[in-house]
Chain A
Amino acid sequence: MIDEWYPVGLFGQIENGWKTALMGEPIEVAFDPGREVKVTSEDGRTLPVCVRYGHVWSSLGKPRKDLFAIPEADQPGRRFVEVGVVRVRCSPLRAVENFLDIAHFPFVHTDILGAEPHTEVHDYKVEIRQDEVWATQVKFYQPQAAKSAAGGITTEYMYRVPAPTCSVLYKTCPPRPGEWDVIALFVQPLAEDLCDVWPWMALFDDVTPMTDLIHFQQTIFLQDRSILENQIPRLLPLDPGMEIPTRADLTSVAYRRWLKRHNYKYGAQLVAQ
């Protein structure tokens, strides 16, 4: 678990140094004299660094592979939206799992990402592709799917979990049919029940001012925050028993099984405990 890459700050906001933490260990992100980003642990260790998708990434261990790829990040014509950090008193895994859920849209993001009576989650596909969780052919009726959407549309989604605390979703792009808007949630585990969440987007939208795009995504995420802080149990159960999944929860079930197979337990609990 310590060998994963985690987001630790916005690259654009580390000029004066950024003190934060990773899995309970205080760390500091700053530029070194040669203008290279340096991440240091409290005991003085220099930690691995990579700068990607507008964020600085680091690890307490030794990452065995590169940070996952988001090819759309290099596609010309997209606008990249750094939404900024939001702290949530919940398990980092709960933050990711909530991001993967569609069924709550009409109730939590009412009149934006969903609305009654359009509450049905149609059948969709879940599979493991190259050791990532993927959900495809997810369709949902949305009154205002994106800032660039004029009215209600049936939006198609694909979800992807490329790392235990990161999720990337692809959704119908209203101004550019045939392309996907990319919305990612990068979650920094501070403790097993506390995380900093860094949403990031790569959109085709030449019209909407940047501040409106940031506010749209902050609105959505802050609607989730109060729900996340009240979920019980606080740690994500990886074994069935504590919670009863339904068909709409296939992605969540696949995510939990995938975490368990990788023995990823930070922020998780096993029922047997």
Chain B
Amino acid sequence: MSRNEERIADVSGDALSEVFEVQMGPQHPATHGVLKLNLVLDGETVLSCKPDVGYLHRGIEKLSENLTYSQSMPLTDRLDYMSAIANNTGYCLAVETLLGIEAPLRAKYLRTMICEMSRIASHLLWIATHALDIGAMTVFLYAFRERELILEMFEELCGARLTPSYPRIGGVRQDVTREFMDRLEKFIAEFPSRLEEYETLIDTNRIWLKRTKGIGIIPAEQAIGLGLTGASLRGSGVDYDIRKHRPYDAYPYVDFEVPIGISGDVYDRYRCRMEEFRQSVRIIRQCMEQLPPGPIIADDAPDLVMELKPPRKVMAGSTGPSPLKTALIRLVEDRQAYMEGDVYVSTEVPKGELGFYFVSDGRGMPYRMHIRSPSYIHIGALGVICEGELVADIIANIGSLDVVLGECDR
């Protein structure tokens, strides 16, 4: 019997104990937006924890059915707004696969570089809120100090800080400037020392260790079963990173390592993400060194104003050849070829595996778009790992799974 089960058995055997229901959220300072948890407590012990999502539902999947492929792209900014560019890139890669376009090499490098910057920005917000939830509020502001630098660079590159919409189907919008690269170089030279500051405050701190070690343990098998991805999965010791195992953009050309945890507790997930900061810096540095000359957008990239065509046939549930094959039948009549078929492309965003699934009927809009958002799946795991732990551990678990409700509810 695990420690958590023991705790539950302990309290449920007590005839005098009375259970206590608490609705934690959606207006709660530590539930990262509008997450609501229906808790059944016995004193401080959590008997059951049922996440209740949907408070931030904006219907992005449905909206995109009435928008052209390029019009839906700014909507993906609003999924995981901590790392909007990573979502944009994932979306563009999926549409590129559907339309059979390939971005030029320079664009790939730029995307990789910017995605890693947004990974740093997202992880900074994660460490900030995770530490704040556990009570170390200074880390929060130190992390925001660095995040500000990244956001300012985004602003310089594409005119917006939070919702950049930087990549385009078939490339990227803007080339980098000299000033931008200088700032980036300065940033990545300085950033590792800033990381050490956070670690000085929390890494070996006895309170931090007590709050995170042995809390929210997810064994590797259970993690796979729950469908966890990203650092939450790697913390449990599963070596799975799409950047490494199904590389896209410029990831095959750069050297980096995937940090893997050992015990799968909150502390290991924390260590994994801290290590990912360093690997991201490494990737950015290599991208800067290798950045090749050339165009930044493919010649056959579609125009932003995509024309619509009458639908040919509805492909959902079709029994044709394999889905990927149908996706790659290219219509040759015109340049703006809209594929018929379905396609699933996944990328490694800071939160985990973000997948876009399109069913296309060839009219220029997706017949159906489905987003496999890591946060939604991670929140599902929350209920499982919180059972039998204490109220304070829920907070540590939410932080360590790194969920963002904009992506979960879509």
Partners in one complex: no
